[in-house]
């Protein structure tokens, strides 16, 4: 193969926004990159047999626009291109700049806090999930202005924000943007319900630092002798396969070590070289539960979906919420000149070869994401559905009264915006 193989496994939820990586084709450089992208896609792309063959590289002013034209639109919503700087800033340096919270819309189109990363200024000043963003620097927050009203994505940019808290009180807080240290475990606790001790963890990011945080939480769950486990991945868009393996070890490694849990399948050209079987890592002190509960939404994707589907052949996998994103495929990062291409290169299935869930994984327990309530609130719709199921064994009808999360207006502008979802 002539394609450079600095291949980085990426299982990420990627929006289908058209990305601009610059419009000036100086000395034919963009045309050269586009030509190399076409060659690479012929070799690596999962659907290389379905690519259009008459797409002229010289007709597109950016590599991202050219990649958009090459996608197999029946399935591919994700293949894209970043500049070297954009890729390195996030995936290699792990840098994210902002206030450290994610936002969503409720049923009344109020912007509410969906979560806050631990250790940020926002968290230290007491901002919580469910709070409404009312004004920023004196201007009312609306759908039309939110994309720009937060200001530049630079360290030190300060916003004076008026929030409405859970008691209906208006609270003014000044926040300065900072380089964020992502905290993949957003929340954890043990919920006692009758004789049950239920471990509940909100898991946000499949990044390497997640393993230590996960270990700390699960060790504490072991000490607390839990008999049920809920993993809340309602906003988790995926990430590192090695972190997914680590999590699978905890969930299955005690009773099912060294059994296959994941298969990778590439295109016909690469299958003999790169098709891979992942085995359940041994974890003698892992959980030995008969079932695992999950919470998912349309924002739950890739590595998160891998976990939900991966558990199914072994023990009960019960999900509350709404259908997931539907990304049973993964991407490699392949550098071309001063860009990094991210083509969909493989699909994955579980032990039973169950995959191709492009319409998402349907929930066992339909429920809305009640963004008005904090994590761990037993009245939050998705958590409530699970607690009710544990207590009664019954499947509830989906509520139409709770306010629900919307991802439509939360993504940042620009190439890296599809990966970064905290403001």
- Please check whether residue 52 lies inside any domain of the structure: no
Residue whose C-alpha is closest to residue 188's, from 376, 369, 371: 376
| pLDDT confidence of residue 143 | 87
Domain interval for residue 226: 185-328+349-392
**245-260 confidence digits (pLDDT tens):** 999 999 999 999 999 9
Average pLDDT of the residues in 386-393: 95
Answer yes or no: do 324 and 190 share one domain: yes
Query: Strand (E) positions, 244-385?
Result: 260-265, 276-279, 291-296, 316-321, 329-332, 334-336, 339-342, 344-349, 365-366
| pLDDT confidence of residue 93 | 56
Give the chain's domain count: 2
CATH number at residue 170: 2.30.42.10
Checking if the pLDDT of 157 tops 80, the result is yes
Rg (CA), the chain: 22
CB atoms within 10 A of CB 301: 27
* Last-in-domain residue among 136, 161, 181: 181
Answer yes or no: do 166 and 193 share one domain: no
The least confident of 105-109, 117-121, 341-345 is 105-109
Cβ-based burial of 165 (10 A; exposed 0-12, middle 13-18, buried ≥19):
middle
Rounded to whole angstroms, the Cα distance separating 81 from 64 reads: 5
Answer yes or no: do 167 and 119 share one domain: yes
Answer yes or no: do 146 and 232 share one domain: no
pLDDT greater at residue 9 or residue 73: 73
**121-135 confidence digits (pLDDT tens):** 999 999 999 999 999
| pLDDT confidence of residue 400 | 39
Q: Identify the band that residue 407 occupies on the pLDDT scale cut at 50, 70 and 90.
A: very low
Answer yes or no: do 253 and 287 share one domain: yes
Mean pLDDT for the chain overall: 87
Answer yes or no: do 145 and 218 share one domain: no
| pLDDT confidence of residue 85 | 83
* Last-in-domain residue among 181, 196, 222: 181
| pLDDT confidence of residue 11 | 40
- Please check whether residue 411 lies inside any domain of the structure: no
Token representation of residue 380 = 């939050």
pLDDT greater at residue 414 or residue 25: 25
Checking if the pLDDT of 67 tops 90, the result is yes
- Please check whether residue 422 lies inside any domain of the structure: no
Answer yes or no: do 122 and 156 share one domain: yes
Answer yes or no: do 316 and 293 share one domain: yes
Answer yes or no: do 174 and 307 share one domain: no
Answer yes or no: do 190 and 229 share one domain: yes
Answer yes or no: do 190 and 166 share one domain: no
């Amino acid at each position: 193969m002539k394609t450079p193989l600095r291949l980085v496994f990426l299982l990420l939820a990627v929006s289908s926004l058209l990305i601009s990586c610059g419009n000036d084709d100086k000395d034919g450089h963009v045309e050269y990159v586009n030509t190399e992208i076409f060659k690479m896609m012929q070799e690596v792309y999962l659907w290389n047999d379905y690519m259009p063959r008459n797409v002229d590289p010289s007709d597109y002013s950016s590599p991202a626009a050219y990649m958009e034209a090459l996608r197999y639109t029946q399935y591919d919503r994700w293949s894209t291109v970043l500049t070297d700087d954009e890729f390195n800033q996030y995936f290699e340096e792990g840098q994210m700049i902002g206030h450290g919270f994610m936002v969503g819309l409720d049923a009344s189109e109020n912007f509410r806090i969906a979560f806050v990363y631990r250790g940020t200024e926002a968290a230290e000043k007491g901002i919580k999930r469910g709070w409404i963003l009312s004004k920023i620097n004196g201007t009312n927050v609306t759908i039309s202005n939110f994309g720009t009203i937060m200001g530049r994505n630079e360290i030190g940019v300060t916003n004076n924000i008026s929030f409405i808290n859970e008691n209906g009180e208006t609270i003014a807080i000044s926040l300065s943007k900072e380089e964020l240290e992502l905290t993949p475990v957003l929340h954890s606790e043990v919920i006692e319900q009758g004789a049950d001790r239920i471990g509940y963890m909100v898991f946000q990011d499949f990044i390497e630092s997640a393993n230590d945080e996960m270990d700390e939480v699960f060790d504490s769950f072991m000490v607390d002798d839990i008999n049920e486990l809920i993993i809340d991945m309602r906003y988790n868009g995926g990430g590192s396969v090695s972190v997914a393996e680590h999590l699978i070890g905890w969930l299955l490694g005690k009773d099912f070590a060294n059994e296959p849990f994941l298969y990778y399948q590439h295109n016909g050209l690469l299958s003999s070289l790169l098709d891979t079987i992942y085995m359940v890592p041994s974890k003698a002190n892992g959980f030995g539960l008969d079932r695992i509960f999950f919470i998912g939404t349309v924002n739950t994707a890739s590595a998160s979906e891998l976990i939900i589907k991966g558990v199914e052949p072994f023990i009960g996998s019960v999900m509350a919420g709404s259908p997931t994103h539907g990304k049973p495929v993964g991407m490699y990062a392949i550098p071309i000149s001063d860009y990094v291409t991210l083509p969909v290169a493989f699909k994955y299935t579980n032990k039973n070869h169950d995959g191709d869930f492009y319409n998402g994984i349907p929930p066992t327990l339909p429920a809305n994401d009640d963004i008005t309530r904090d994590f761990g609130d037993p009245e939050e719709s998705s958590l409530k559905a699970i607690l009710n199921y544990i207590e009664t064994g019954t499947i509830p009808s989906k509520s139409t009264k709770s306010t629900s999360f919307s991802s439509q207006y939360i993504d940042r502008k620009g190439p890296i915006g599809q990966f970064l979802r905290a403001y």
